[in-house]
Structure 1
């Protein structure tokens, strides 16, 4: 009899629990499935898309695939009849066209290193000012009586003058601030208005080979005129060998000059002849890129909008290697796949007249790997008013398991759910407790977490405008940003379950009477 009553009680509890669920939510959430996810990801993370790097053919192919899928399932094209929102980007490559001294052309990384400049410059000089260590300190001043204004200054960029092991600056064996701060001596020199600073670094040739700055991609902005007072001398690091080429006409070497300073205990600043010519600057070109937007119109609350986002770009191709393609199956092919699948099931619900009350924007953004550029562009040029955007659910890597959860893979990291809205956090927690029952890990939600994940995906460009967000993430694994991030390592059952958590959270948000209330002053600082 007791067993019978216990069974009845268990059945009653089960019925009560089921009663808390929304039957329609369960129906459409179950339409998310691993087979459909695999179909999309097999295309998105294929070699044909060449790693989907922003501004390349591969990214363009990915964008068109996403747009075609949005069109197939019946989403509206909200950008003046298009699924594409053009994102104005510019690629900048810093180039040293000429670096010639005493008839010899010096080579980047072999003789000098220069990472970039604000301005294009051409400099010719017949004289170079050797300014010792570039130090101006009480009792010792390399620049006393030396005019470097408008001239090329050559300095020893490391350590400080020493005599018998004693610093001539600190008057002890302990180094002074000058010895430990190249920045301090550079600022000291810049105050004297030189045209260029050549800084000899004896350790330079011991470093791993570095390259002139790789091309950078940024949002295209209007050029701002720089006043002459803002122009500062650029700094170029030289090897010892390169410094000796500069000193060739003086008959001295940098090692000899350094030894002379240390022996005499006084500056040895001087001017020497040298035929020097340099030209450098930034070469720019516009890049073609686009966010992909699919719009599902709501019913009675259609003026309010939920954004479900993921970035479709990745790292492109390596310069060499057997496998050169960064397929980005997890990062963020998995998130893009989830957006496509969520769009499909919400569109089906609408066809069945069970559609959302609020509208949904399915947003696949470009340029995340270049600095969250696509989402920044959207947030600064919104197709729908940000004031009417109630929440952003952002998905970036949900197809893998990180080392911390290898023994308990049924989990998902959530970031940001409580940063602006306690109500959104409760909606999220309830969705998981009612439907998916994943282990929710809030490790990266801690403002003190050193990884600063909150700032590292596209939700941030909504959060900084006061829009509540949730970021869904599986954590970093051994294939993160490597060519080995391949589709055969994706757990499609887990990807689907995490996508279902997004779905059930979204279902609640778009169908409830009132939007999530912003009731928290964001505890994260407004900076990346």
Structure 2
């Protein structure tokens, strides 16, 4: 730590030069209630809440619970007194009985392939649609890369690799090397295929570059799929079918076309590529669309001097819900993801409210947004960012909680996508009080910065961080516990075993809540407006002052 402290001290000086105060000088020290934090997680993740899927009875229970908790803490409803912001949604449900043939090879729904349609039509019927391999499905002028160059995708189905070209050969320095860019996200790939006029888009699932196993695809992409209600013009441009295919089945498809997928993967990582497979797809399934509002929960503590300027905290309350097709446990309780993060913003809100009642309100307002539909593509945060209750240009920063640390205290603190904005200096300054140091995420290739609600605000230029936990346990006992708990929770991401556990060590989560609190407290009591650094894709939206 002797080598780390001088660096941290320099970071404090940097933060102070922007108006931040030394976190040790705070007049109010947060006292997080671990039992209350546990109770919130346990209740939100209980079977009674049915997995908290949007537009279900589980949502109603969740909205009531969160609204009551914010009200009891002393926060006000941000939407003209209401804690709820309606988010117009449509749920698309594809039939489990699907007829799918690619290159004449029958594909079994769920086992081999998962397809859906986000169109309001009762029957999807595609016959003899040509299949085209388009590499990573990227059109990025700034990287001089276009996998669709010279090919007309009208009436055709794009077959696409997961992640981006930098993943396969990070030494090439293409894109961002091992760290995924937004071009590697599934959402981008479907959007770009739509812009290219494709009839459909199918991503080849590969566990390593995807960073999650096929079970996550099967669990997350079957059953009702929510989306925002979009204009008819946008919907008319959208691919008719979208989904994923298992790597083994994709290999068989390319072999049928007389091609080697492994060879084409190497070529796709080296240069843009588009190759007609000279094979076609036949796809048929029933489809249903229902339109219902879901809701964000938005609560605020008005500031005393600059009440129109807001520090935002976000955490998504939703999870996957229930799956009646399963045997045994059918409920995706989502305890870690993200009852824990939702409970986290409740605890932080209580601390700020208590600070205010003790005569120390903040200069700026502190606003908490429990978002809906994150698991379906950041829907609630996207909607808020496009339809903000408080103007985006008056939103100073976003602190996002998505799955808190249940593995005990750490010596370090992970900032996902570290190096993007000046907002990180506030976290780094706060870490000194815990003798911790900020580090980048261990697996930047998973594209974590683009996978949670803070990203919706980053796209609008608001500095946003997604941080917490670390890779270095505080001591040997914590390391042993962490290894044991990791084994217990193996495979539980987006699975029914993501349930509350009495033996979770939440001391690390409470550490992280304190860091978020201290960083936000500093920023809420100065006049600084952090910005994005020049090398980031968001710099032009809100530039950093210190270049």
TM class, shorter-length? 0.5 to 0.7
Q: Is the 8 A contact 1:92 1:285 kept in 2?
A: yes
Structure-2 separation of matches of 1:97 and 1:318 = 16
For 1:346, the equivalent position in structure 2 comes to 352
Deviation at 1:437, TM superposition (A): 2.9
* 1:493 and 2:501 correspond: no
Structure 1 residues without counterparts, runs of 5 or longer:
1-18, 100-105, 135-194, 197-206, 236-276
Deviation at 1:288, TM superposition (A): 3.4
For 1:300, the equivalent position in structure 2 comes to 305
Within 5 Å, which residues of 2 pair with 1:243-322?
282-319=287-324, 320-322=326-328
Compared with structure 1, are the counterparts of its residues 93 and 510 closer, same or farther at alpha carbon in structure 2 (3 Å cutoff)?
Answer: same
1:337 corresponds, among 324, 327, 343, to 343
* 1:523 and 2:524 correspond: no
Structure-2 separation of matches of 1:44 and 1:231 = 35
Deviation track 1:176-226 (CA, whole Å, cap 9, x = no partner) reads xxxxxxxxxxxxxxxxxxx99xxxxxxxxxx99x99964321101122288
Deviation at 1:414, TM superposition (A): 1.4
Compared with structure 1, are the counterparts of its residues 97 and 425 closer, same or farther at alpha carbon in structure 2 (3 Å cutoff)?
Answer: closer
Return 449-458 or 44-53, whichever deviates more: 44-53
Compared with structure 1, are the counterparts of its residues 122 and 490 closer, same or farther at alpha carbon in structure 2 (3 Å cutoff)?
Answer: closer
Deviation at 1:117, TM superposition (A): 5.7
For 1:221, the equivalent position in structure 2 comes to 230
For 1:429, the equivalent position in structure 2 comes to 428
For 1:51, the equivalent position in structure 2 comes to 51
Compared with structure 1, are the counterparts of its residues 109 and 295 closer, same or farther at alpha carbon in structure 2 (3 Å cutoff)?
Answer: closer
Within 5 Å, which residues of 2 pair with 1:501-512?
501-512=515-526
Compared with structure 1, are the counterparts of its residues 73 and 281 closer, same or farther at alpha carbon in structure 2 (3 Å cutoff)?
Answer: same
For 2:370, the equivalent position in structure 1 comes to 364
What SS does structure 1 have at the residue aligned with 2:446?
Answer: coil
Deviation track 1:338-374 (CA, whole Å, cap 9, x = no partner) reads 1001111111111111011100111111111111111
Within 5 Å, which residues of 2 pair with 1:188-199?
none
Deviation at 1:280, TM superposition (A): 5.5
Deviation at 1:466, TM superposition (A): 0.8
What SS does structure 2 have at the residue aligned with 1:521?
Answer: coil
Structure-1 separation of matches of 2:47 and 2:240 = 45
For 2:91, the equivalent position in structure 1 comes to 91
Return 112-121 or 514-523, whichever deviates more: 112-121
Tell me the matched-pair count: 381
Structure-1 separation of matches of 2:124 and 2:517 = 60
* 1:398 and 2:397 correspond: no
Q: Is the 8 A contact 1:121 1:279 kept in 2?
A: no
Deviation at 1:53, TM superposition (A): 1.5
Return 45-54 or 460-469, whichever deviates more: 45-54
Structure-2 separation of matches of 1:441 and 1:352 = 35
What SS does structure 1 have at the residue aligned with 2:339?
Answer: helix
Structure-1 separation of matches of 2:362 and 2:230 = 38
What SS does structure 2 have at the residue aligned with 1:450?
Answer: helix
The two structures, once aligned, show a CA RMSD in angstroms of: 4.6
Deviation track 1:43-72 (CA, whole Å, cap 9, x = no partner) reads 112221111122221122112101101111
Structure-2 separation of matches of 1:344 and 1:520 = 33
Deviation at 1:495, TM superposition (A): 1.5
Deviation track 1:138-177 (CA, whole Å, cap 9, x = no partner) reads xxxxxxxxxxxxxxxxxxxxxxxxxxxxxxxxxxxxxxxx
Q: Is the 8 A contact 2:356 2:362 kept in 1?
A: yes
Return 293-302 or 412-421, whichever deviates more: 412-421
Within 5 Å, which residues of 2 pair with 1:149-168?
none
What SS does structure 2 have at the residue aligned with 1:355?
Answer: coil
For 1:264, the equivalent position in structure 2 comes to none
For 2:253, the equivalent position in structure 1 comes to none
Compared with structure 1, are the counterparts of its residues 225 and 348 closer, same or farther at alpha carbon in structure 2 (3 Å cutoff)?
Answer: closer
What SS does structure 2 have at the residue aligned with 1:52?
Answer: coil
For 1:458, the equivalent position in structure 2 comes to 453
